[in-house]
Structure 1
Amino acid sequence: MNQHFLSPVKEAVLAHLVTQSFSCLGKKIRIHSKQEGFPDLENVQLAIFGVEEDRNSENNFGCGEDLQFIRNKLYQLFPGNWQTEIADLGNVPKGNSVTDTYFAVSELITYLLRKNIIPIIIGGGQDITYVNYRAYDSLEQTVNITAVDSRFDLGNLEDDLTSQSYLSKVIMQEPSNLFNYSNVGYQTYFNAQEEIELLDNLFFDSYRLGKAKELENIEPAFRNADIVSIDIGAIRQSEAPANNNASPNGFYGEEICAISRYAGISDKVTSFGIYEYNSKYDNNHQTANLIAQMIWYFIEGVNFRVKDYPFSGKENYQKFTVLMENDDPLIFYKSNKTGRWWIEINILSDNKYKRHALIPCTFKDYTEATKQIIPERWYKAMRKML
């Protein structure tokens, strides 16, 4: 990896860290500093880096700046009972062109993925989600994206790539490695009915804000994700004012922290991004504080990953077969470790979708199947594989 892609963490952040408790999180992180240079990534499991790119962020110019406020708040938190090694790689500066920044971010994420290090991306517009997705091309696998956002950000395919049109690029541009997209927390009045129908016709998952606030409904969307992308605009303005597109409605702080923990605890999630933070609207650094806590909960989740995916050993799960009147039986698995549920999708062993042979689901999906109601998750997954 070209370390010149990254600028070190600001000296002011490190000076602030000196005044903090010896047991705070910042003193456990390997930090890229001007004095110490680039950190050793041996045994590192999580790597934080910022993106100073705002040129393609719609109506939120400045969202790549002042990431030191997030770091100040994060570093002074106290870690949980964690074993995870964490590094802070600094920031990817604005390139001469947006394309230059995208190239640097993509190269960095690809490098980290190959080293089995989970990137935690802060700052920049949500268009970086598309760059994150493209970084998986070299892994030659299908990818699931879960976005926490009040808008779908579809745009038109002919539009330039922006924070509000990146999804059409993910869906349509080659190579097309997307298997599933889930939106969590969309608000209907921000999305055209045609877009809502399009997502449904593509057999993607979308959860309106009211349904998403019942958090058990959305946990499977994170257990099934490779990439989790959070737009700060999905959080209500009173909780997170640092976004020029903020809205009175959205998730509360404790809800978005629970969501971040869901993302961390998922065995499948391999990258996590929080976008559209704009410090010039941030009263008393409130949003920086919330983002720091979201990162804390993500790290907490990663520390408590239990690798309870079925087939790891029959003693670790229970198998339930539900006989359907007019169809093949549905097979469910329940983890003995966590009580989490999966539903089996019947596919050929050489199918390119074999990593999706088990779809995370809920206990409610199982109980509905026992009433002869086929779970929507199963139906959508099957349709995508045909």
Structure 2
Amino acid sequence: MNFNFLSPVSDAVLAHNELLSMQALGRKIKIHSSKKGVPDLEGVQIAIIGVLENRNDINYIGEEFQLNEIRKTFYSLFPGSWNTNIADIGDINKGESVEDTYFALKTTIAILIKKSIIPIIIGGTQDLTYPNYRAYDTIMPMVNIVNVDCKFDLGDSTKPIKNDSFVGKIILDQPYNLFNYATVGYQTYFNSQEEKDLMDSLYFESYRLGEISKDITIVEPVMRDANIVSIDLSSLKGSEVSLNQKLSPNGLNGKEICAIARYAGISNKVSSFGIYEYKPSKDDDMTSMLISQMLWYFIEGVNYRVKDDNFTNDANYQKFITLVEDQELVFYKSNKTGRWWIEIPFLTEINNKLKRHTLLPCMHQDYLDACNNIVPERWYKAFQKNCI
């Protein structure tokens, strides 16, 4: 297996790890070291990769960074009652060009996903979501991305890719593999009206910070349908993070971002997970601890995944049919987990790539709304995309 792009975890972190309790996470995971090389990934379900690339930051002034503090903090946490094998396979350093880094990340992610290993990417700038997306080109025909961010990151796709415009490239660059893009936690004043209009015209989903703070559970169905989850640390409230990381007095708090990470982990479809826009500072303890706890909750979620969307056996589910505005809506509820889905009707005369998107995750509230003659918004957007 070709992992030539990866450099080992630093000796300073490994020395710190040796001082930890034998019960700590750092003593229970496989680690890429200069002495032993890349660990054997047989039986590993999750692989952590650092990516030290930040040159496409719109504010880049040549600064370097490393992920040692995050690793030290993460290694020092204690695992839950997990049976998930984890490896830290080290860092992808900056290439000669940003495109070289992209190629290294895309190749590494593709290798891991084909081996049924979930990569956790810690960056660097959020434009690294683009090579993460491109890694799926040879793996699956259509991809769903969830971006936890205060901004949509659509940007001007005619200009070179930056950390605030990578989604425009994902939408317009061939091959066209993006089915759905959802932004979780956006703040209206950080986004232009043109970007909001574009999100609506493409039937993409967006969830305002206020909606999520009011009811965090609305994130769960979106995550259940995601393949790639990308978290921008600028979505966090300034009081939750260290000095260089602060962006806004408003944002997600630590409890909310950890719940979102756990929802991503529980989703059976999420096959890559990234945390981006890490900017170390002298008082870095708060940010590295929060990132470590986000990783912990994501892994906790993966450990408790339940396969509950097999609707071939009548004993596994209950089926509910409602009529809304002359449209028959069909809901399914899993008997195992109580999770809900809604059926998207096929338009058989249209040749599209949606063969696996017949069932859309939803909430119990969507069913109650349908009973009151209200069309669920997720269903409406998915149905419209089906018509395009």
The bucket for the TM-score relative to the shorter chain is: over 0.9
State the 1:316 CA deviation: 1.8
Q: Give the direction of change, closer, same or farther, for the CA distance of 1:61–1:220 in structure 2 (3 Å limit).
A: farther
Matches within 5 A, 1:132-151: 132-151=132-151
Q: In 1, distance between residues paired with 2:308 and 2:181?
A: 23
- Corresponding residue for residue 274 of structure 1: 275
Gaps of 5+ in 2: none
Q: Is the Cα contact below 8 Å between 1:62 and 1:278 reproduced in 2?
A: no
State the 1:54 CA deviation: 0.6
Q: In 1, distance between residues paired with 2:229 and 2:2?
A: 25
State the 1:41 CA deviation: 0.5
- Corresponding residue for residue 369 of structure 2: 368
State the 1:338 CA deviation: 1.5
Matches within 5 A, 1:340-379: 340-347=339-346, 352-379=353-380
**SS state at 1:333 partner:** strand
**SS state at 2:238 partner:** coil
Q: Is the Cα contact below 8 Å between 1:53 and 1:63 reproduced in 2?
A: no
Q: In 2, distance between residues paired with 1:73 and 1:244?
A: 17
- Corresponding residue for residue 191 of structure 2: 191
State the 1:166 CA deviation: 0.2
Q: Which shifted more, 60-69 or 169-178?
A: 60-69
Q: Is the Cα contact below 8 Å between 2:146 and 2:183 reproduced in 1?
A: yes
- Corresponding residue for residue 173 of structure 1: 173
Q: In 1, distance between residues paired with 2:37 and 2:157?
A: 42
Q: In 2, distance between residues paired with 1:343 and 1:127?
A: 33
Identity of aligned residues (%): 56
Q: Give the direction of change, closer, same or farther, for the CA distance of 1:63–1:369 in structure 2 (3 Å limit).
A: farther
Matches within 5 A, 1:300-339: 300-311=300-311, 313-327=313-327, 329-339=328-338
Q: In 2, distance between residues paired with 1:166 and 1:188?
A: 19
- Corresponding residue for residue 111 of structure 2: 111
Q: Is the Cα contact below 8 Å between 1:233 and 1:243 reproduced in 2?
A: no
Q: Is the Cα contact below 8 Å between 2:245 and 2:278 reproduced in 1?
A: no
Matches within 5 A, 1:217-228: 217-228=218-229
Q: Give the direction of change, closer, same or farther, for the CA distance of 1:284–1:100 in structure 2 (3 Å limit).
A: closer
Q: Give the direction of change, closer, same or farther, for the CA distance of 1:229–1:148 in structure 2 (3 Å limit).
A: same
Q: CA offsets, 1:242-286, max 9 Å, x none?
A: 655621110000110000000000001000000000112x62421
Q: In 2, distance between residues paired with 1:239 and 1:312?
A: 45
Q: In 1, distance between residues paired with 2:226 and 2:366?
A: 19
- Match of 2:248, as an amino acid? S
- Match of 1:358, as an amino acid? L
* TM-score for the superposition, normalised by structure 2: 0.96
- Match of 1:276, as an amino acid? E
- Match of 1:66, as an amino acid? Q
State the 1:312 CA deviation: 5.5
Q: In 2, distance between residues paired with 1:99 and 1:332?
A: 44
Q: CA offsets, 1:285-329, max 9 Å, x none?
A: 2101100000000000000000111425322211111133522x1
Q: Is the Cα contact below 8 Å between 1:147 and 1:229 reproduced in 2?
A: yes
**SS state at 1:218 partner:** helix
Q: In 2, distance between residues paired with 1:31 and 1:61?
A: 32
Q: In 1, distance between residues paired with 2:123 and 2:85?
A: 22
Gaps of 5+ in 1: none
- Corresponding residue for residue 240 of structure 1: 241
Q: In 2, distance between residues paired with 1:105 and 1:225?
A: 20
Q: In 2, distance between residues paired with 1:155 and 1:292?
A: 30
Q: Give the direction of change, closer, same or farther, for the CA distance of 1:325–1:379 in structure 2 (3 Å limit).
A: closer
State the 1:370 CA deviation: 0.6
Q: CA offsets, 1:123-178, max 9 Å, x none?
A: 21000001100110011420000000001111111111110010100111111100
Q: Give the direction of change, closer, same or farther, for the CA distance of 1:341–1:45 in structure 2 (3 Å limit).
A: same
- Corresponding residue for residue 21 of structure 1: 21
State the 1:14 CA deviation: 0.7
- Corresponding residue for residue 162 of structure 2: 162
Q: Give the direction of change, closer, same or farther, for the CA distance of 1:98–1:284 in structure 2 (3 Å limit).
A: closer
**SS state at 1:273 partner:** strand
Q: Is the Cα contact below 8 Å between 1:333 and 1:341 reproduced in 2?
A: yes
Q: Which shifted more, 240-249 or 195-204?
A: 240-249
**Is 1:40 matched with 2:40?**
yes
Q: Give the direction of change, closer, same or farther, for the CA distance of 1:52–1:270 in structure 2 (3 Å limit).
A: same
**SS state at 1:127 partner:** helix
- Corresponding residue for residue 126 of structure 1: 126
State the 1:385 CA deviation: 1.1
Q: CA offsets, 1:55-114, max 9 Å, x none?
A: 002226678622011110000100000001111000001101111111000000010111
Q: Which shifted more, 257-266 or 131-140?
A: 131-140
**SS state at 1:323 partner:** strand
**SS state at 1:199 partner:** helix
**SS state at 2:231 partner:** strand
Q: Give the direction of change, closer, same or farther, for the CA distance of 1:257–1:64 in structure 2 (3 Å limit).
A: farther
Q: Is the Cα contact below 8 Å between 2:334 and 2:340 reproduced in 1?
A: yes
**Is 1:98 matched with 2:98?**
yes
